[in-house]
Structure 1
Amino acid sequence: MYLTRRRLLSLFAGPAAAAGLSAFWTSRMRNYEGPASDHFDGRLFFDPDGSPPKSLGDVLRWQFGRDRRRQPWPEWAPSPYVDTPPPRVSADKVRLSFVGHASWLIQTSGLNILIDPVWSDRASPLSFAGPKRHNAPGIAFDALPEIDAVLVSHGHYDHLDVATLSRLTAKFAARVITPLGNDATMRSADSTIDVEAFDWHHRVELGSGVAVILVPTRHWSARGLFDRNKSLWASFVLETPAGKLYIVCDSGYGDGKHFRRVAEAHGPLRLAILPIGAYEPRWFMRDQHMNPSDAVKALADCGAAQALAHHHGTFQLTDEAIDAPVTALAAALDDANIARERFMALQPGQMVEI
């Protein structure tokens, strides 16, 4: 289906919506330049064991189709928890604090590591339009301890938040680790961000006996409508003295191959952080986002001793109700005869130690 820019804008009612679409039209990643590989064709990245992102026609069908059933979220759904992390945590344990959506603070071995940090009010290129927060970050930005490293999984706005990265750079001069191509996005917005970009399977030493390995995940990347897969996406295996953590920031399930391969290459895993939200409608989201039933299967495939859920309850990106992922996770665990305590869904501001 061929759409001109004017025709596409006309499908969205109101100046704010049109401005939002215009921002996505103009927001583009730069082309990554590097040698071709089994997941890079010289121009775009791809997952040999995954599926390409949905077409623009499918996006419009989802957004404007007559059968859409978008569930309303409350305007504000505050968490009763607020975390004030300690300055450091020793090497014999790991402290994990849920900031919200896909953002975590992980403290271990004297290091403080942020995962996909988003402190902005919206997951969007605009300050006045796009998915907005329905609760505050579980850690106030000014309550953060000294941040040593930041792991950014891919370029979607709910994971790569340039405004937050700039704040972290200004306050802590934190080291940023990300998959190939996302470094150009960061540097084009703020040249002071200390970013290093790596390919799948690369191992990066963070110090104090801690290292991170970038591993394939079933997803894709973009900042606008027409820059899909110009940068790479990844999950992380974080090696710590207290055990290995498998951090899946975004992923579809597929046939479970990605999770089984991580178990084979990096197991045993002490803990997995798995997404459970942003999954409806399934015809559109299945290939890129797991639902809670998929996440329970992913836990079984990767073999982690314990799991924590995320990617739910903060930004409404898809059509399910705000509480649906947590409710469905409990049911999926019961169906699989897995104790609910093995796979917990925290609220922003809650923390666990292992």
Structure 2
Amino acid sequence: MKTTRRTVLGLLAGAAAVAGVPSYWIYRMKTYAGPPSDHFDGTHFFDPDGVPPKSLGDVLRWQFGSGRQRQAWPEWVPSPHADTPPPRVTGDKVRLSFVGHASWLIQTAGLNILVDPVWSDRASPLGFAGPKRHNDPGVAFDALPPIDIVLVSHGHYDHLDVATLSKLAAKFSPRVITPLGNDLTMREADNAIKAEAFDWHDRVELGSGVAVTLVPTRHWSARGLFDRNKALWASFVMETSAGKVYIVCDSGYGEGKHFRRVAEAHGPLRLAILPIGAYEPRWFMKDQHMNPQDAVKALADCGAQQALAHHNGTFQLTDEAIDAPVIALGVALDEAKIPRERFVAPKPGQVFEI
């Protein structure tokens, strides 16, 4: 294939969602400033039990190195499902609608909560290049009920989509709960976004007896070449009347410490939402993204009664085939002697209730 400037931009934009490299231009965002802690050195955040993100040289080696085996995805893979959520869900029930990739609508106790909402056509800083959708959101934007709360886990483009957040702010004006520093990205893009930033282990009351705690996760964050780890990343533990829901939007596995600590501090867990996609090649991805085998170990570590899989099948961020994560999940569950119905991989538009 002839290498053109547009091709190079597209490949680098593809790396942006998972590697924080938007393109060839120099981009710098406003970054967090605050007192040092056990995971912030005064300039950069870090995971005491993690590893630093890959270098730009590693990104280029992955994108342009010889021997790369990137599997082609079909141009369009529509989901057979589409959800029209009710205006509210009350009582001792949680209704979860899978929007796609890492985006969820969670309805409980009269609250409507979105997780990492991305309705844009591309998970990219570029409108013309980078990972594009391979299926429609499982809930059309115009079909959304009134949104009260938005949870945004970190700053990578497939999770923090300012275009979607701006549309939500204009239509619903929800509270946006996010780790430290990501609020600056949001307000810099649109001051109408009502972002509230919190640290690891902060517990935030959402109303109606629902609360969420930001917990450490094995990942990192960036949106440009010069802001790596200058904003924090997190997973969420949501307290509901139906039990606690552990929401992991992006994470490597490592030695499993993060998942066991959540079980110790927040268990028992009724449900875990765990990523299973964007994991090849392993030499590059293993420290930031779990593969299905890792996700099955994470389920065992956190001890959740039930798990739902996500982070697969919508945006091609990495090199595995579109159906590889779901196939590998089934194999890993069988090998671990865990019933397949305990860890389900929904398609966009499917609904799960507890």
Structure 1 residue 226, shift from structure 2 partner: 2.5
Corresponding position: 1:257 with 2:257: yes
Instruction: Please list, as runs of the form range in 1=range in 2, the aligned pairs for 1:9-48 lying within 5 A after superposition.
Output: 13-15=4-6, 17-18=8-9, 23-24=22-23, 25-48=25-48
Counterparts of 2:47 and 2:283, CA distance in 1: 19
Counterparts of 1:154 and 1:186, CA distance in 2: 11
Q: Match for 2:236: what amino acid?
A: F
Structure 1 residue 230, shift from structure 2 partner: 0.7
Q: Match for 2:225: what amino acid?
A: L
User: Per the alignment, do residues 47 and 149 of structure 1 end up closer, same or farther by CA in structure 2, a change over 3 Å counting?
Assistant: same
TM-score after normalising by structure 2: 0.95
Corresponding position: 1:280 with 2:280: yes
Output one character per residue of 1:104-147: Cα deviation in whole Å (capped at 9) or x when no partner: 00000100000000000000111111100000000000000000
Provide the residue aligned with 1:297 in structure 2: 297
Residue 71 of structure 2 contacts residue 320 of structure 2 at CA under 8 Å; is this kept in 1? yes
Provide the residue aligned with 1:184 in structure 2: 184
Structure 1 residue 14, shift from structure 2 partner: 2.3
Structure 1 residue 23, shift from structure 2 partner: 5.0
Secondary structure of 2:352's match?
strand
Counterparts of 1:218 and 1:266, CA distance in 2: 17
Q: Match for 2:4: what amino acid?
A: A
Counterparts of 2:174 and 2:27, CA distance in 1: 25
Residue 29 of structure 1 contacts residue 231 of structure 1 at CA under 8 Å; is this kept in 2? no
Q: Match for 1:224: what amino acid?
A: G
Q: Match for 1:69: what amino acid?
A: Q
Counterparts of 1:341 and 1:291, CA distance in 2: 19
Structure 1 residue 28, shift from structure 2 partner: 3.0
- Aligned residues, how many? 344
Counterparts of 1:57 and 1:261, CA distance in 2: 33
Q: Match for 1:199: what amino acid?
A: D
Counterparts of 2:302 and 2:74, CA distance in 1: 35
% identity of equivalent residues: 79
Structure 1 residue 250, shift from structure 2 partner: 0.1
Counterparts of 1:339 and 1:18, CA distance in 2: 43
Structure 1 residue 153, shift from structure 2 partner: 0.1
Residue 22 of structure 2 contacts residue 124 of structure 2 at CA under 8 Å; is this kept in 1? no
Provide the residue aligned with 1:218 in structure 2: 218
The two structures, once aligned, show a CA RMSD in angstroms of: 1.4
* Divergent runs of 4+, >4 A: 19-23
Residue 211 of structure 1 contacts residue 238 of structure 1 at CA under 8 Å; is this kept in 2? yes
Secondary structure of 2:321's match?
coil
Counterparts of 1:125 and 1:284, CA distance in 2: 22
Structure 1 residue 333, shift from structure 2 partner: 0.2
Secondary structure of 1:26's match?
coil
* Structure 2 gap ranges (5+): 14-20
Range with bigger deviation, 336-345 or 57-66: 57-66
Secondary structure of 1:197's match?
strand
Provide the residue aligned with 2:17 in structure 1: none
Provide the residue aligned with 1:92 in structure 2: 92
Structure 1 residue 29, shift from structure 2 partner: 2.9
Provide the residue aligned with 2:79 in structure 1: 79
Range with bigger deviation, 250-259 or 20-29: 20-29
Counterparts of 2:28 and 2:309, CA distance in 1: 30
Structure 1 residue 65, shift from structure 2 partner: 1.1
Range with bigger deviation, 21-30 or 304-313: 21-30
Output one character per residue of 1:68-125: Cα deviation in whole Å (capped at 9) or x when no partner: 1000000001001000000111130100000000000000010000000000000011
Secondary structure of 1:50's match?
coil
Q: Match for 2:119: what amino acid?
A: W
* Structure 1 gap ranges (5+): 1-10
